Amino acid sequence: MARKTYLAAATKPDGIYIPCGGWGSIHNIELLEKDLDTTVVTWLNAMIGSSLRRGKVAGAIHAFGKLLASL
């Protein structure tokens, strides 16, 4: 659904935000980012990234998108 909506947009969006974790979206972030060449943020990877930054924990987490890979 995220892919279809992104491609149907009148102008290219800056990225995709998926607010609900009930769809198993965390496992599809990297696939969507590679397929659409954009950034995908879900509530879960945003919360994990924010918590790690606040705790000053460094080190990239791979396979869950650009947000966590940039830690």
Q: What is the rounded average pLDDT for all residues in the chain? A: 93
* Boundaries of domain holding 59: 2-69
pLDDT in tens, 5-43: 999 999 999 999 998 877 778 889 999 999 999 999 999
Residues 6+ apart with CB under 8 A from 45: 26, 29, 64, 65, 67, 68
Looking at the 3D structure of the chain, how many domains does it have? 1
pTM for the complete prediction? Answer: 0.86
